[in-house]
Structure 1
Amino acid sequence: MSTETVTISRLGAQGDGIAHTQDGPLYVPFALAGETVAVARIKSHGTIMSITTASPDRQEPACRHFGPDGVNGTCGGCVLQHLKDDPYHAFKRILVIEALQAKGLTPVVDDLVIARPGERRRVTLAARRTEKDLLLGFNQAESHHIVAIEECPIAVPGIVARLGTIRAIGKAAAANAEPFRITVLETLSGLDIAIEGLKAVSDRQRRATIDAVLAERGVARVSVNGEALVEPQKPQLDFGGVKVSPPPAAFTQATKPAEDAMAELVLAEVGKAKRIADLFAGSGTFSLRLARIGRVHAVESEDKALKALDLAARGAQGLKPVTTEKRDLFRRPLTPQDLKVYDAVVFDPPRAGAEAQVKELARSSVKKLVAVSCNPLTLARDLALLVEGGYRITRVTPIDQFLWSSHVEVVATLEK
């Protein structure tokens, strides 16, 4: 380890400050562009010891768990609480612009659709049982150390107010000190708590967990490793006026405002399409909204999510027909022959993107495409393939679904 003073030239894609030194780039968490900082250096990683010149863009962090004055924060849930709003919003937009430029794409990128504190309805907490209680919080950055939290400014108040309840349920489910995860989703009918990573749950732990749930209010369901353990009320989400009960531990958009913003962009581009394919459809975030416009074919590899979508569609009024298909689009993408009946295609893949499916879309005759992505790098790769296949990018909108992180959601629209 060595100590040196460096000047930060810019923020990197992960939110770290980057200083250019004789020994190559030095990555300094919690440092901002233009700052001069004294750091303890280990290879290419620097830890701030003191700030000689602070950036005018630096601000007091919103959360006591983030760290003193936004330096060397302890909780690993956020990385950019110390950056003022305007430069923070610009940083998120630049992530998208640079990812596209790296693939030779230069479309106009809209201003960021901003996120606000208290909007995250889905959070994943780290947990570990101790002798007397349950350690519940977030892992410190690049560490397995769990920082216990008593507040979380990004989470909806309904989750923060029930941290004690979540802790009691997790403590009941855990038999030993092995770390595990608790994903909490706020639904219309209460919290949907998914416990994952426990190697074995005995009958004793199951009974204790059920008792802990029944002793509390505001919990709709608790599942362990994907299996529903107790469900006082069926968890429900509202997808554009259609009530859906997602399966345990199912993927859902992290915030309702971001979901609504994405859906608005999707619906606007699809317009009056009569036949629509929704690929990587999940439990119907977009499918059920799109079914108010035209006939929808929803394709998804997860059987339980697809069944939840189908059940919701059958129980809703005012929708055009919705068909479903269980299919692994990574291994067996829809072909141009499959796609020729559709006026529009929406696809919202995982972080890895949809390269195999996009290659087929690029060869298709579908007039309108909407790409939704949580990873600008794989999105840029996929868009470049579509442009090469004859599509034109008509709009790119970054959406800040993950406040104070280095992640950004993007909706891109294309026409043949």
Structure 2
Amino acid sequence: MSTETVTISRLGAQGHGMAHGPDGPIYVPYALPGETVAIARNGSQGTIMSMAAVSSDRVEPPCRHFNPDGDACGGCSLQHLADAPYQAFKRDLVIEALRSKGLTPDVAPLVACRPGQRRRVVFSVRKTETGALVGFNRAETNHIFGVVECPISSPGIVGKLGAIRSVASSIASGIETFRLSVTETISGLDLAAEGVKPLGDKQRRRIIETVLLAKGVARVTVNGEILVEPQKPLVDFGGVLVSPPPGTFLQATREAEDAISSLVLAHIGKAKRVLDLFAGSGTFSLRLARIARVHAVEGEEKPLKALDHAARNTQGLKPISIERRDLYRRPLTPQEIKPFDAVVFDPPRAGAEVQVRELARSSVKKIAAVSCNPLTLARDLSILVEAGYSIRSVTPVDQFLWSTHVEAVALLDR
């Protein structure tokens, strides 16, 4: 390990400051463009030792757990960057991903995310002598940093950290770390633990007793099994109430979901039949059914059942048909897509390359693509553009505040 002084030229894709070294780039966490820093260097990685020049874009982090100078929570990486350059960085992640595939469409300003909007967080949990340690992994490690506040999370989650710890303590056994997904719903918190050892009867009773004493917990699931459900968790998809299955996908913030849905619905316009691929529990399907007939396709059975139940119990919707189908192994063909006026797809981070190649061969007029990974989105869009589609707009949406993750909505037609 060596010590040297470097000047940061820009931020890398992971939010680390980048400096030019004689043998390649040097990545310095928590350093900002324009700063001159003395670093302890280990290969291409640098740790700040002192700062000779500080960027005017550096701000005081809003959370006590964000501490670039020492032991810190690793949940956020960019709390020290001012709003304007932070938002430009997020937008540039989308622009650069598109450019890497030769795409240069207009990219709208970032739809901003504000503190206190996250309704879904995933904690790491481990049993200790004093109870359960609940928090996020320290930066670059697997060690848990216990949190007592979290400015990105909704007040409904932060205000219930005590209840979350109590339930986590009743679940924890041994020294193994497990994941606890916490989702704020209309009827209370939905807690889903994964990676837990098989439970004995005594522990099951303890968990149930703890949940019944805790206020504001709607459901607790362990390794996919519902242990206790005082209230059925409910989320609102455009005025339709849905009870999603445990641990199912949900947009991280309600505000981002509304923004994305508005873009999708405006693009779909007067389409009479819409195909919703990777439909989940109906984030888009149930909104689209206000204006069009919808065919929802999803690989998992439980989200589809939740969608179907909500549709059947809501008045004023046009018909929604459902189909369970693995779109990676068996994508819809151009012939199957032919009856539809528009297609919406919102795949996992891996994107939808196999399905997109079939879409590219179809005659569907309008496509709305939603993605949490700009790189796979750019790949999928390039396939569609090569087949004759035009990108009308791309809008980056921030729902992962102070991280390097960004959502994007691309609207295409031909």
Identify the range of structure 1 (316-325 vs 168-177) with the bigger mean alpha-carbon deviation. 168-177
For residue 78 of structure 2, what is the amino acid of its counterpart?
L
CA-to-aligned-CA distance 1:353-393 (integer Å, 9 cap, x gap): 00000000000000000000000000000000000011000
Q: Deviations over 1:20-76 (max 9, x none)?
A: 101211111101011111111111111111111111000000100000xx4456111
| AA aligned opposite 1:182 | L
Aligned match of 2:108 in 110, 118, 133? Answer: 110
1:194 to 192, 195, 210: 192
- Which residue among 253, 275, 285 is the counterpart of 2:251? 253
Residue of structure 2 in register with 1:153 after alignment: 151
Counterpart of 2:296 (choices 292, 298, 301) is 298
Contact 1:397 1:412 in 2 (8 A): yes
Residue 334 of structure 2 corresponds to 336
Distance 1:71 1:60 in 2: 13
Q: Contact 1:30/1:73 (CA < 8 Å) preserved in 2?
A: no
Matched, 1:137 2:135: yes
> What are the equivalent positions in structure 2 for 1:40-51 lying under 5 Å apart?
40-51=40-51
Assess, with a 3 A threshold, how the Cα gap between structure 1 residues 253 and 73 changes in structure 2: closer, same or farther.
farther
Residue 321 of structure 1 corresponds to which residue in structure 2?
319
- In 1, Cα distance between equivalents of 2:83 and 2:248: 32
Equivalent residues of 2:125, 2:172 under 8 A apart: no
- Measure how far apart 1:199 and its partner are: 2.6
User: What is the DSSP-based 3-state SS (H/G/I as helix, E as strand, rest coil) of the residue aligned with 2:232?
Assistant: coil
CA distance in structure 1 between the partners assigned to 2:3 and 2:173 by the alignment: 44
Paired positions, count: 414
Partners of 2:27 and 2:70 in 1: CA distance: 13
Q: Secondary structure at the match of 2:402?
A: coil
Tell me the distance in 1 between the aligned counterparts of 2:124 and 2:38: 32
Given the two structures, how large is their TM-score scaled by the length of structure 2? Answer: 0.99
Map of 1:38-187 to 2, 5 A cutoff? 38-67=38-67, 70-71=68-69, 74-187=72-185
**Offset at residue 237 of structure 1 (A):** 0.2
CA distance in 1, matches of 2:305, 2:27: 46
Q: Secondary structure at the match of 1:259?
A: helix
Matches within 5 A, 1:360-371: 360-371=358-369
Query: 1-side partners of 2:199 and 2:14: how far apart?
Result: 36
CA contact (8 A) 1:30 1:72 kept: no
Provide the rounded CA distance (Å) in 2 between the counterparts of 1:60 and 1:246: 38
Q: Percent identity?
A: 67
CA RMSD of aligned residues (A): 0.8
Alpha-carbon separation, structure 2, partners of 1:270 and 1:160: 37
Q: So what's the TM-score if we normalise by structure 1?
A: 0.99
Runs of 4+, deviation exceeding 6 Å: none
Could you tell me which residue of structure 2 aligns to residue 264 of structure 1? 262
Structure-1 residue corresponding to 2:220:
222
Distance 1:73 1:254, change over 3 A: farther
C-alpha spacing 1:13/1:141, structure 2 compared with 1 (3 Å)? same
1:70-116 CA-partner distances (Å, limit 9, x unpaired): 44561111000000000000000111111001100000000000000
Q: What is the one-letter code of the residue matched to 2:32? A: L
Q: Is the 8 A contact 1:29 1:72 kept in 2?
A: no
Is the Cα contact below 8 Å between 2:97 and 2:374 reproduced in 1? yes
Mapped to 2, the partners of 1:177 and 1:71 lie a distance apart of 29
Match of 1:31 in 2: 31
Cα-to-partner distance string for 1:145-201 (whole Å, 9 max, x where unaligned):
111100000000010011111111011011211101111000000000011111322
Partner residue in 1 for 2:370: 372
* Structure 1 residues 66 and 73: CA distance shift in structure 2, 3 A: farther
What is the 5 A alignment of 1:270-289? 270-289=268-287
- Confirm or deny: 8 A CA contact 1:240 1:289 kept in the other structure: yes
Tell me the amino acid that sits aligned with residue 366 of structure 1.
V
Q: Deviations over 1:314-340 (max 9, x none)?
A: 000100000000000011000000000
Q: Secondary structure at the match of 1:407?
A: coil
2:385 equivalent to 1:387: yes
Tell me the residue number matched to 1:236.
234
Q: Secondary structure at the match of 2:265?
A: helix
